[in-house]
C-alpha cells in the first residue's frame, strides 16, 4: 500500500500547505503505538510501532475512526451544535476578548485531544477572528499558528497570553511565535515526519509557544520568561529560540547536546535560584514586601489556616505597613513595596522613577495589583486570575459561579444575593473621570473596559451593621473603609456619601463557612448535581431554551422553581430545576427538556 502523504506535513516554516489529499485522515490522530508500550516519563509517548507493524495494523483496520453508540441521546447532539454559536469562556484574556466555542473530536488520541486535561475549551479561530487581539501585542492568529499554518479550531490558555504579554512588556521588543496551538492530529503527523513517535505536547493543550526575539539567544529568552512569568513554567532552550509553557510547575530541557546542553541547564538553574523562593502555598512569602530579607513583615507573616483568613491577614498586614493611609504612593520609602506588588502580583516590573512620579501614578491605578499581590501571598496559586484590572478577575469568578466550577474557590455573585464574610471581596463601580461607569453584575463580563474597585473584607460587625474592608490605591495608599450592611448582613449597594454603587461580592469558598453568616436565599440552593451533570445541564438548558421556546416564559419558570432572576446559564437555575423535578417524580437532571417542559406547562397553565 502507498504510504499516506501526511508524512510530508512538517513544521517547516517554508513548507507549502498540504493539499486536500495530504490532510491527515481520521485515523492519523488516533493511537499509533501500543498501549502497553506507552512511557510514563516527562510527557513522552513511548515507542512507536515499526513501519511494517504500522502498515499491517492499518490494513487490519486497527485505526479506523471510533464508532460511538447510536443510543447516545439526541439532546446531547443538539446541545453540542447549538453551544457552538454562543460565547463560553472559562477564563478572561487580557484584552477582554470573548471567543466563540467550537465543536471538535476531543477524545483520547482524537484530532483535538487535550493530552494534559487542562479543561481549556476549543474556540472557533477562523480567518474572521485571527486579527483580533488577545492582549495589547498578540492576536488570535499568532497563538493558533504552528509551522506557518493556522488552525480554525484551537485551545488558547489565557495564562499563556498573559505570560507572553508580560515578556513582551519586559523586553520592549516584538516577540515572534513560530509555533502556538497544534492539534493532536497535526502533532502526530509532525513527529512521524521526523521519524519518531508523538509526544504529549503542551502545544496540543494550548499551553505552549515556541518564540524568538531578534538578537536574543534561546537561553536569554528562557531567563527573561522566568523573570516575566514566574518560577513555575516550563522552558526549552534552543540556540535562537525558546519553548515556553504555563504548566504550573518548573521544568527545563535543552535542545542542544553535550557540553552546550550542560551549560544551558546550569545557567538557567542558576538564574531561577537567583529569583528567590516563591511564596509557599500555605502561607506568605519569606520575602518581606519590597523584597527585603530580614525581620518578619509588620504583624508577622500570616501562616496556614483557611484561605479567607489568610487573605484578610495579608490585607491587614499591608494596611499597617502603610499606616492606614498615612503613607502615600510617591514616597521613596514605599517604592520597594510597590515594586514588589507589581513584580509579584502581576509579574510586571516598574521603575522607581515611575512610581515616584505623580503624573505616572495618575495613569496607572494599582488597586487590582494590590489584590493580586495579596492573593499570591495567601498561596492561591493558579486559581486566581491575576490582573491590573479588577473586572478581569471578577469576570473569571462570575464564570466559576455560573458554570459550577467547584475546583475553583473564587465565585462572584450579585451584591444583593450573597452575604460577605472575612476574606471575601466587595466590588464597586468606580468614577473613571467622567462619572460612574454604570457597571453591573450582568455587564461586568461584556467586554467593556469598566472602571471598578474591590476591597478585602477584614472584619464584620453584624450588630453594628457594618464591615471593614481594606484596599490598595485608596487615597494613594492602603487603608481601611467602613461599609454599611443591612440587618441580614448584605452590603447596601448605594452607600451614604458614595456616588458609585457596589455591584458584586467575590466569595472565597474555602470550605469554612462562618457560624454567624450564611449565603442567602434561593441563589445557592442545596446542590443536587455533581460538576459533570451541572455542566451538561447548563449546556442543554441553553439550547432547549430556544429550541423549545420556554425562554419566552422564563420569569414564570424561575418563580415556579423558586429561583427568581436566575437564567439557563446559571448553576442555581439547574439545581433549582433538579429539585423541582425531584419533587414531581421526574429524573432530577436539571434539564428542562421535552418531558420536564410538558410537566411545567401543566402547572404554569393552571
Answer with the residue of higher pLDDT: 319 or 432.
319
Q: Is residue 168 part of a domain?
A: yes
Clarify whether residues 318 and 464 are in a common domain: yes
Are 339 and 478 members of one domain? yes
Does residue 67 sit within a domain? no
Is the pLDDT confidence value at 478 over 90? Answer: yes
CB 567 within 8 A of CB 573: yes
- Residue 3's pLDDT band, with cuts at 50, 70 and 90, is very low
Sheet with 502-508, side-by-side order of all strands: 410-414, 502-508, 425-429, 452-461, 466-474, 477-484
How far is residue 213 from each of residues 107, 163, 177, measured CA to CA in Å? 36, 15, 9
CB 538 within 8 A of CB 577: no
Give the chain's domain count: 3
Residues 504, 538, single domain; the answer is: no
576 CA to centre of own chain: 27
- Is 94 part of a structural domain of the chain? no
Q: Which residues of 403-426 are buried (b: 16+ CB within 10 A; e: fewer)?
A: bbbeebbbbbbbbbbbbbbbbbbb
378 and 241 share one domain: no
pLDDT tops 70 at residue 361: yes
Which residues have a Cβ under 8 Å from the Cβ of 99 and sit 6 or more positions away? 87, 89, 93, 123, 124, 125, 129, 140, 156
For residues 466 and 373, membership in a common domain is answered with: yes
Residue 26: pLDDT above 50? no
User: Where is the domain boundary, 227, 257, 272?
Assistant: 272
Does the residue 517 lie in any domain? no
Q: Are 229 and 275 in contact (CB under 8 A)?
A: no
498 and 417 in a common domain? yes
Measured CA to CA, the distance from residue 388 to residue 399 in angstroms comes to 19
Domain assignment present for 521: no
pLDDT of residue 219: 93
Predicted confidence (pLDDT) per residue in 60-111, tens digit = 333 332 222 222 233 333 333 333 333 334 457 888 888 999 999 988 888 9
Q: What is the mean pLDDT of the chain?
A: 77
Helix, strand, coil % (nearest 5) of the chain? Answer: 35, 15, 50
Q: Is residue 205 part of a domain?
A: yes
Beta bridge partners, 52, equal: none
CA distance 104 to 112: 6
Given pLDDT bands bounded at 50, 70 and 90, which one contains residue 231?
confident
- Using the predicted structure, report yes or no on whether residue 517 has a pLDDT greater than 50: no
Q: Are residues 441 and 315 in the same domain?
A: yes
Q: Is the pLDDT of residue 12 over 70?
A: no
**CATH, residue 268:** 3.30.1380.10
Asked whether residue 293 is domain-assigned, the answer is no
Residues 456, 326 share a domain = yes
What pLDDT score does 138 carry? 94
At 94, list the grid cell.
487580557
Among 114, 558, 163, smallest CA distance to 346 is for 163
Per-residue pLDDT tens over the stretch 411-437 = 999 998 888 999 999 999 998 778 899
Please tell me the predicted confidence (pLDDT) of residue 342.
94
Q: Of the ranges 222-226, 341-345, 412-416, 584-588, which one carries the lowest mean pLDDT score?
A: 584-588
Query: Are residue 539 and residue 500 in the same domain, yes or no?
Result: no
Is the predicted pLDDT of residue 235 greater than 80, yes or no?
yes
Ranges 333-347, 492-506, 513-527: which has the least confidence: 513-527
Give the closest residue to 531 by CA, choosing from 444, 358, 407. Answer: 407
Residue the block writes with cell 527585603 = 292
Higher pLDDT, 546 or 433: 546
Say if residues 217 and 185 touch (Cβ distance below 8 Å).
no
Domain region containing 445: 307-508
- Please check whether residues 242 and 338 belong to one and the same domain: no
Query: Residue 324 is placed in which grid cell?
Result: 492606614
Instruction: Specify if 31 maps to a domain.
Output: no
Query: Final residue of a domain: which of 493, 508, 523?
Result: 508
| Sign of the CA dihedral with 206 first, then 207, 210, and 212 last | positive
Q: Are 535 and 499 in a shared domain?
A: no
Tell me: do 481 and 337 sit in the same domain.
yes
Amino acid at each position: 500500500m502507498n504510504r499516506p502523504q501526511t508524512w510530508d506535513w512538517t513544521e517547516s516554516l517554508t513548507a507549502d500547505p498540504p493539499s486536500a489529499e495530504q490532510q491527515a485522515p481520521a485515523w492519523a490522530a488516533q493511537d499509533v503505538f501500543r498501549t502497553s508500550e506507552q512511557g510514563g516519563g516527562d510527557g513522552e509517548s513511548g515507542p512507536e510501532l515499526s513501519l511494517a507493524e504500522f502498515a499491517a495494523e492499518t490494513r487490519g483496520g486497527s485505526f479506523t475512526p471510533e464508532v460511538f453508540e447510536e443510543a447516545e441521546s439526541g439532546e446531547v447532539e443538539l446541545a453540542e451544535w447549538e453551544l457552538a454559536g454562543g460565547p463560553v469562556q472559562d477564563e478572561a484574556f487580557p484584552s477582554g476578548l470573548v471567543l466563540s466555542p467550537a465543536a471538535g473530536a476531543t477524545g483520547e488520541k482524537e484530532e483535538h485531544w487535550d493530552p494534559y486535561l487542562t479543561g481549556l475549551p476549543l474556540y472557533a479561530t477562523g480567518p474572521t477572528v485571527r486579527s483580533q487581539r488577545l492582549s495589547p501585542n498578540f492576536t488570535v492568529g499568532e497563538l493558533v499558528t504552528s509551522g506557518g499554518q493556522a488552525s480554525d479550531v484551537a485551545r488558547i490558555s489565557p495564562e499563556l497570553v498573559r505570560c507572553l504579554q508580560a515578556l513582551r512588556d519586559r523586553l520592549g521588543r516584538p516577540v515572534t511565535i513560530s509555533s502556538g496551538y497544534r492539534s493532536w492530529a497535526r502533532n502526530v503527523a509532525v513527529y512521524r515526519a521526523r521519524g519518531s513517535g508523538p509526544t504529549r505536547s503542551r502545544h496540543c493543550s494550548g499551553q505552549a509557544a515556541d518564540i524568538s526575539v531578534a538578537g536574543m539567544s534561546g537561553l536569554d529568552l528562557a531567563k527573561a520568561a522566568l523573570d516575566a512569568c514566574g518560577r513555575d513554567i516550563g522552558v526549552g532552550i534552543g540556540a535562537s529560540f525558546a519553548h515556553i509553557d504555563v504548566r504550573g510547575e518548573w521544568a527545563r530541557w535543552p535542545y542542544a547536546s553535550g557540553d552546550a546542553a550542560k551549560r544551558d541547564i546550569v545557567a538557567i538553574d542558576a538564574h531561577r535560584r537567583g529569583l528567590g523562593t516563591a511564596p509557599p502555598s500555605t502561607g506568605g512569602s519569606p520575602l518581606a514586601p519590597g523584597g527585603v530579607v530580614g525581620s518578619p513583615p509588620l504583624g508577622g507573616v500570616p501562616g496556614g489556616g483557611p484561605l479567607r483568613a489568610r487573605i484578610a491577614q495579608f490585607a491587614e498586614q499591608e494596611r499597617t505597613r502603610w499606616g492606614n493611609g498615612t503613607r502615600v504612593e510617591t514616597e521613596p520609602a514605599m517604592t520597594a513595596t510597590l515594586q514588589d506588588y507589581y513584580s509579584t502580583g502581576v509579574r510586571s516590573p516598574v521603575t522607581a522613577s515611575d512610581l515616584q512620579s505623580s503624573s505616572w501614578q495618575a495613569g496607572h491605578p494599582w488597586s487590582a495589583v494590590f489584590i493580586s499581590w495579596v492573593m499570591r501571598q495567601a498561596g492561591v496559586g493558579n486559581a486566581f486570575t491575576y490582573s491590573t484590572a479588577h473586572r478581569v478577575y471578577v469576570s473569571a469568578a462570575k464564570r466559576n459561579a455560573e458554570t459550577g466550577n467547584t475546583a475553583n474557590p473564587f465565585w462572584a455573585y450579585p451584591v444583593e444575593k450573597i452575604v460577605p464574610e472575612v476574606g471575601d471581596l466587595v466590588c464597586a463601580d468606580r468614577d473613571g473621570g467622567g462619572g460612574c461607569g454604570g457597571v453591573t453584575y450582568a455587564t461586568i463580563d461584556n467586554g467593556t473596559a469598566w472602571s471598578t474597585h474591590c476591597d478585602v473584607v477584614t472584619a464584620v460587625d453584624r450588630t453594628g451593621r457594618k464591615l471593614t474592608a481594606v484596599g490598595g490605591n485608596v487615597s494613594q495608599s492602603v487603608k481601611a473603609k467602613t461599609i454599611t450592611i443591612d440587618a441580614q448582613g448584605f452590603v447596601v449597594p448605594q452607600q451614604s456619601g458614595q456616588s458609585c454603587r457596589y455591584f458584586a461580592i467575590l466569595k472565597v469558598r474555602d470550605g469554612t463557612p462562618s457560624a454567624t453568616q450564611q449565603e442567602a436565599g434561593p441563589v445557592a440552593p442545596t446542590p443536587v448535581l455533581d460538576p459533570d451533570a451541572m455542566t451538561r445541564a447548563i449546556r442543554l438548558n441553553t439550547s432547549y431554551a430556544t429550541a423549545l421556546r420556554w425562554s419566552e416564559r422564563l420569569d414564570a419558570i424561575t418563580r415556579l422553581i423558586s429561583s427568581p432572576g436566575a437564567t439557563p446559564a446559571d448553576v442555581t437555575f439547574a439545581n433549582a430545576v433538579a429539585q423541582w423535578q425531584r419533587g414531581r417524580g421526574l429524573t432530577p437532571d436539571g434539564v428542562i427538556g421535552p418531558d420536564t417542559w410538558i410537566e411545567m406547562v401543566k402547572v404554569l397553565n393552571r
